[in-house]
Structure 1
């Protein structure tokens, strides 16, 4: 008895915020304060979990468990084929914006670049891109040379 036993557990109780899916996707070991996953986490499905740590003496502390992203989603295009027409006398540097790919991953795991992989005879086209505030990489198909049938 001196009240300082190391096996008495943490000086708080951890409880999930209602509706945060903590009960079904995380387990909380109240004796140690350890939080473990019950299921594989997927940031695109749930980006965070909210808990409250209630100290045995003092005020509550809000705990947020953030799920970090992984490169687990391939980019997808709105349609498998996109048709764009340029008249053969179209001047160089004219461009048409293409529908961007959608990638659910964030940051460095999001779509980073596009390439023309075939059909670019005499390098008649080039791609340019820019990332907007929405995080999407927008793509332009640009005339790079002379078009002639």
Structure 2
């Protein structure tokens, strides 16, 4: 009886041990694996490291025997990224598998941080390790403008202090290596004012500091330079072409104010007496000139001589008789000016 009872108890102990090994041990292994995965091994490296460059001695940092890496089939897997980094199973070192461009790995980042997340795994027994490689920015990009040349049309009547928006430069680098400032080439008419957007981007407004005169200078050519904060700094440029739009601020003028013309009597009808020569420094419609007799030109004179309003040609209209009239006084005007001819 006792021996039978002992046998049953022994069998019970054996069943409990089997249960423990089949169910409890794997659960404990899972807990251990999860605990191991929660610890993250962190490294920081600059972008653009050459291929095969050593990142760190991973086996040493994880306390692994280098000689067992092949046997335990150690591998590195990228998490949601391309595999840029791998492990040398002979040395236990992490190395660059492919050169990393931070701006490609982390495009349009809202923060300055960029991470490459890796999983390291070994077998027999299975262990998992989380690895986080921070990719540090280097100043490998110069600021650049989306448009190499900006064209602005500004009226010469624009007041001092008026501002005009310019295209901003962009720099894929971050932090101190990002865009910091703008510079404008020397100009007595223009300056710039730097603005900072809510997202931290910087742009420049062109400020008119001296009124423009199209007749003195119709086109202003400027150079805008964008500079980053790297050491040494890198920069990019864009051309600004300002075309000054005309306002009607110039009066037409004749080459002479007074003329004295001798004309033979009985000159043929249609004979050219004089061709007026007026100029206007304005452009476009503001430079158009229209000739006409003033109110001080008598009707008799206007009946004797015709005036072409477009060309300014004065021609004989009626037969001229010296005995009837010896001197004809005519006054020809154009907008904003008048000149006499005798």
Fold-level match, TM-score > 0.5? yes
- TM-score, normalising length: structure 1: 0.72
- The residue correspondences of 1:110-125 to structure 2 (distance < 5 A) are 110-117=287-294, 118-121=297-300, 123-125=303-305
Equivalent residue for 1:75? 252
Structure 1 counterpart of 2:169, from 11, 16, 41:
11
Unaligned runs of 5+ in 2: 1-108, 112-166, 171-181, 196-202, 228-233, 325-342
Instruction: Report the 3-state secondary structure (helix = DSSP H, G, I; strand = E; otherwise coil) of the residue aligned with 1:33.
Output: strand
Shift of 1:79: 2.2
Give the secondary structure class of the aligned counterpart of 1:60: strand
Cα offset, 1:145, TM superposition: 1.7
Instruction: Determine if the alignment matches structure 1 residue 140 to structure 2 residue 317.
Output: no
1:91 aligns with 2:268: yes
Greater C-alpha Rg: 2
Shift of 1:96: 3.3
For residues 260 and 183 of structure 2, the distance between their equivalents in structure 1, rounded to whole angstroms, comes to 56
Structure-1 separation of matches of 2:263 and 2:307: 15
CA–CA separation in structure 1 for the residues paired with 2:216 and 2:267: 45
Query: Runs of at least 4 residues of structure 1 off by over 4 A?
Result: 55-59
The answer to whether residue 267 in structure 2 is matched with residue 101 in structure 1 is no
Q: Are 1:53 and 2:53 counterparts?
A: no
Q: Give CA-to-partner distance per residue, 1:87-133, whole Å, 9 cap, x none.
A: 12001111133341232111211142100221351511112266xxx
- The answer on whether the counterparts of 1:72 and 1:105 sit within 8 Å (CA) in structure 2 is yes
Report the structure, 1 or 2, having the larger strand content.
2
Q: What's 1:128 paired with?
A: 308
* Residue 27 (str. 1) matches residue 191 (str. 2): yes
**Segment of structure 1 superposing worse, 25-34 or 57-66:** 57-66
The unaligned stretches of length 5 or more in structure 1 are 4-8, 131-137
Q: How many residues align?
A: 132
Cα drift, residue 82 of structure 1:
0.9
Distance change >3 Å, CA 86–CA 120, structure 1 → 2: farther
- Tell me how far apart the structure 2 counterparts of residues 47 and 81 of structure 1 sit (CA, whole Å): 32
TM-score of the superposition, structure 2-length normalised? Answer: 0.34
| C-alpha distance in 2 between matches for 1:112 and 1:89 | 31
Query: Is the deviation greater in 74-83 or in 62-71?
Result: 74-83
Identify the range of structure 1 (35-44 vs 54-63) with the bigger mean alpha-carbon deviation: 54-63
Root mean square deviation of aligned Cα = 2.8
